[in-house]
Structure 1
Amino acid sequence: MKKPLLALLLLGMSAGAASAQVEIGLKLSPSVTHLRADSPTGQNFQSEKSKVSLGGGLVVDYFFGQNYAFSTGLFLTGKGGTIAYLDQTSPTNTALVVRKQKIGLQYLEIPVTVKLFTNDIATDTKLYFQLGGSVGGLIGGRIDGGKRITDPSTGQETEAVKHFIIPDAAALIGAGVEYQLGQNTKVFTGLSYHRGLVNIDKYFDKSRGFQSASLKNDEVALDLGLKF
């Protein structure tokens, strides 16, 4: 009895492996990013300017149906933007002044998404829709172009990267077009929106006492890729 069951299990596993298809490729994603800033009215935290960034990395699409794939990979992503806020003029002068910070952050990210493909809308051409999220870890950061910053309101110098927590997460939605160039080669282009879910600030709230200060990443990316 055990041998027929084992044979049936192995047959099912081999059939699943035969029907599954993995496509691996590379992606380049120029993007426009900004920081969603929020705080009580007195601190007037707000997003001031967006930032042009560049990211890219490895794409892995694991098909579990003809038109359905689990899509993941490993990407190096740039994020950030310019924020403005009210702060005291100096350690000895409590008069308020508007300050700005130009923030640049780098993350390693892993997307966890599903891609849905249409049938061919033209010869060897399909539309795809992508939905899911991503998780990432901060690997580098600069404020006003420097790795260290001196806060003019306190006179204290700190590392820029220590102003932010390491983990980040985002919701992801996207759409695009994929074209089959040859038997195993495909190119794709699309747009994706990445909405940050995590407050990445740990300086203004904890070190400066700006209660309920919040910074969240936002990104709109142009996705250009090649799969082999």
Structure 2
Amino acid sequence: MTRCDERPVPGWVPEAFRELYFVAAAKMTAPELDAGHCWDHVERVTRTALRLAGEEQADAAVVCAAGLLHDLGRTVPGEGDHARRSVELAPPLLSGTCLSAHQAALALDAIGDHRYRDGKVPAAIEGKILQDADRLDAVGAIGIARCFAKSSVTGRRLYSPDDPFCTAGREPDDNRYTIDHFYSKLLKLKDTFHTASARKLAERRHAFLTAFLEEMRVELGASPTA
């Protein structure tokens, strides 16, 4: 398991959210969090979300608060909907910020809607931005690194020896094989981004995913894609 080290508040965190940053960081350093979902991930998502908020003219305060708290539910042991747990844990922390009641409600909605598996489409632009930022962290070089980091925890094999790239009619099984996660989720993300800013960033990252798979094909001696 990976423990994210304590660090100074980075310059991109708005002054009004420095205290929330400290509190959230302290809670997200639980040793049971894997490298793909620890505080490093939260920082990347929040920073990307703030960038998107600036480009999409969204409420940066709502986006920052939602980003810092979106995975708080992962600190609660057990399986289940971490987004729902995050919504349950966030209100006391939001009450100590500069957010109005309306802004806090928007932040909670964004947190509750961000999870990919639920298939929710946020109504507000701030929710769309958080979902986009979270999904951007699942593609590209970072996405690949997170995928393999997860496998080091779960013990799943790198690929199916009989059908590494799901080309023989086999349904992807990312509980057993790492590369299958590309086909069950990562390659599908390209078409799910809401904002123009995120779609632009996703193009390069998606291309990196496909290039990685092509190199895997070469190294495994598999037939190239058409």
TM bracket (short chain): under 0.3
Which has the bigger relative contact order, CA under 8 A and spacing at least 6? 1
TM-score by length of 2: 0.25
Pick the structure with more helix per residue. 2
TM-score by length of 1: 0.25
Pick the structure with more strand per residue. 1
Larger radius of gyration: 1
